[in-house]
């Protein structure tokens, strides 16, 4: 917790300065070149504050976050074990690698209509799409975490009579944890993207439906305000994931600072 506070305090002035420069540039450009579709920074800020007092926003947040939480939970449940197993058993990975690569390179926005036609329009389709968006990041990083475990540690443990269960408990899982937590953080960002994209393209509900409504009514400040709220939620979730990563992988940073790596 102390390390996290130090990091936040060290980064805070730079972040505030960067935000001030960005807000100033946005304000000046919108006043000079903006119009009906480009509000100023101050107009967006006022609209964001007004939205936070609207019941419609909180209903949209509730609907969207249902799909986000369920879909990301499924991504973790499937992605972490699958990635760890593929990283450990190379022969199994040879059969599954092509499907992992397909998930990596496939443009997910193009797959959304197929998934919606397969499972229907509703919560199930949104949950499935959030899972598909995020699971690949969790899986790939979990696989990489197992691969980066020092082979000499495994050989040493085997020479002392360690079995497969002891290898998993004492070496493989702890060694893979930093990469797994990185995958959780990256997957969470992808999950938020999937949550919004499916609502914009196919299921006009939740936060995506709110964006479409304000766009149709040409309420640009409220449109931008909704996007700001989505970004704030995403940054908050990623910050929580980063905090959990710092807490769970403190030993890895201690070893690195002590010169063991």
Would 39 be classed as within a structural domain?
A: no
pLDDT of residue 7: 47
Would 70 be classed as within a structural domain?
A: yes
CB 147 within 8 A of CB 93: no
**Which residues span the domain enclosing 191?**
55-257
Distance separating alpha carbons of residues 91 and 247, to the nearest angstrom: 34
CB 106 within 8 A of CB 135: no
Q: Pick the more confident residue, 215 or 1.
A: 215
Q: How far is CA 121 from CA 107, 192, 204, in A?
A: 20, 19, 10
Q: How far is CA 214 from CA 39, 123, 192, 211, 254, in A?
A: 13, 23, 20, 5, 49
Would 38 be classed as within a structural domain?
A: no
List all residues 6 or more positions away from 215 whose beta carbon is below 8 Å from its beta carbon.
Answer: 223
CB 86 within 8 A of CB 138: no
Distance separating alpha carbons of residues 115 and 130, to the nearest angstrom: 11
pLDDT tens string 27-59: 888 888 877 788 888 999 999 999 999 899 999
Question: What is the number of structural domains in the chain?
Answer: 1
Distance separating alpha carbons of residues 76 and 82, to the nearest angstrom: 10
Rounded average pLDDT over 194-211: 85
Name the nearest CA neighbour of 184 among 244, 129, 132: 244
User: Which of 115-119, 131-135, 210-214, 221-225 has the least mean pLDDT?
Assistant: 115-119
Residue 98: CATH number of its domain: 1.10.3720.10
DSSP annotation of 122 reads S
Would 59 be classed as within a structural domain?
A: yes
Measured CA angle at 108 (ends 103, 113), to 5 deg: 125
Would 127 be classed as within a structural domain?
A: yes
Would 13 be classed as within a structural domain?
A: no
**Residue 15 scores a pLDDT above 80:** no
Would 203 be classed as within a structural domain?
A: yes
Would 97 be classed as within a structural domain?
A: yes
pLDDT of residue 260: 42
Q: Pick the more confident residue, 106 or 220.
A: 220
pLDDT tens string 155-167: 787 777 777 787 7
List all residues 6 or more positions away from 238 whose beta carbon is below 8 Å from its beta carbon.
Answer: 185, 188, 189
220: how many CB neighbours lie within 10 A of its CB?
21
Name the nearest CA neighbour of 134 among 62, 202, 207, 79: 79
Name the nearest CA neighbour of 45 among 70, 71, 19: 19
**Residue 85 scores a pLDDT above 50:** yes
List all residues 6 or more positions away from 233 whose beta carbon is below 8 Å from its beta carbon.
Answer: 61, 192
pLDDT of residue 162: 74
List all residues 6 or more positions away from 169 whose beta carbon is below 8 Å from its beta carbon.
Answer: none
């Amino acid at each position: 917790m102390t390390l996290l506070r130090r990091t936040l305090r060290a980064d805070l002035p730079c972040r505030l300065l960067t935000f001030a420069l960005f807000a100033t540039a946005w304000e000046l450009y919108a006043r000079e070149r903006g119009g009906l579709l480009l509000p100023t920074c101050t107009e967006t800020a006022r609209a964001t504050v007004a939205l936070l007092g609207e019941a419609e926003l909180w209903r949209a947040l509730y609907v969207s976050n249902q799909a986000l939480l369920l879909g990301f939970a499924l991504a973790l449940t499937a992605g972490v074990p699958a990635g760890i197993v593929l990283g450990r058993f190379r022969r199994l990975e040879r059969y599954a690698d092509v499907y992992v690569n397909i998930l990596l390179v496939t443009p997910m926005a193009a797959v959304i209509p197929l998934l919606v036609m397969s499972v229907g329009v509703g919560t199930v389709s949104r949950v499935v799409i959030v899972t598909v968006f995020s699971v690949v990041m969790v899986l790939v990083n979990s696989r990489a975490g197992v691969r980066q475990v020092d082979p000499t540690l495994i050989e040493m443990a085997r020479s002392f009579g360690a079995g497969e269960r002891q290898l998993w408990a004492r070496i493989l899982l702890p060694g893979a944890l930093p990469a797994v937590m990185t995958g959780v953080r990256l997957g969470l960002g992808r999950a938020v993207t999937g949550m919004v994209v499916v609502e914009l393209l196919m299921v006009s509900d939740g936060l995506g439906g709110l964006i479409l409504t304000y766009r149709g009514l040409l309420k640009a400040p409220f449109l931008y305000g909704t996007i700001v709220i989505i970004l704030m939620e995403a940054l908050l979730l990623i910050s929580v994931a980063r905090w959990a990563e710092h807490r769970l992988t403190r030993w890895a940073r201690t070893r690195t600072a002590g010169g063991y790596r």
